[in-house]
Amino acid sequence: MRAAIKVVSPAPRFRGFGAVLVNVDDGRIVAEAKGGDGPGTNHAELNVLRNFGLLHPDGEALHKTVLVTTAEPCPMCATCAIFSRVAGVAYGTSLEFLIGHPPTRMPIRISMPQVVATGPLPNMPVVGGVLREETDPLFM
């Protein structure tokens, strides 16, 4: 998680969206990305999954990674993680926290666990609140 935080540090106010992919075999960080302005799809999770996936098109390498992200993935990014078949997801700040701290815009209020529960991988490991005491300030 500290690597994901470092990706966005120093974070613009309210915009601390950073993500890394961690190889499950050896714990190496194999990719990193941050979210930003511009197109509404410029999200850290989508960026890191897409960028790494383009470098490893067979998909096998993605299956051996955990997505670690500073905030709970939105439904678009949660679905991207499921379609990428990563080994799991860990996030810091919760969707509820983001909703409670405008001006972070969160137009679709469907949680990561809700998306996972309704998808093809309902047992995908998802852990929230990881180092939230360090990620929450990125969105204040």
Residues that bind Zn ion in the complex, under the rule CB under 5 A = 43, 74, 76-77
Q: How far is the CB of 50 from Zn ion (least distance, A)?
A: 12
CA-based R_g, the chain, Å:
14
Among candidates 59, 56, 110, which has minimal Cα distance to 85?
Answer: 59
The residue (of 60 and 95) whose beta carbon lies closer to Zn ion is 95
User: HSE on the CB side for 49, CA within 13 Å?
Assistant: 26
Q: How far is the CB of 71 from Zn ion (least distance, A)?
A: 9
What DSSP element (H or E) covers 91?
strand 88-93
Q: How far is the CB of 25 from Zn ion (least distance, A)?
A: 27
Q: Distance of CA 73 to CAs 19, 51, 57, Å?
A: 10, 17, 23
The residue (of 61 and 76) whose beta carbon lies closer to Zn ion is 76
* Angle, vertex CA 87, rays to CA 63 and CA 76, nearest 5: 90
Q: How far is the CB of 35 from Zn ion (least distance, A)?
A: 7
The residue (of 57 and 105) whose beta carbon lies closer to Zn ion is 105
The residue (of 22 and 71) whose beta carbon lies closer to Zn ion is 71
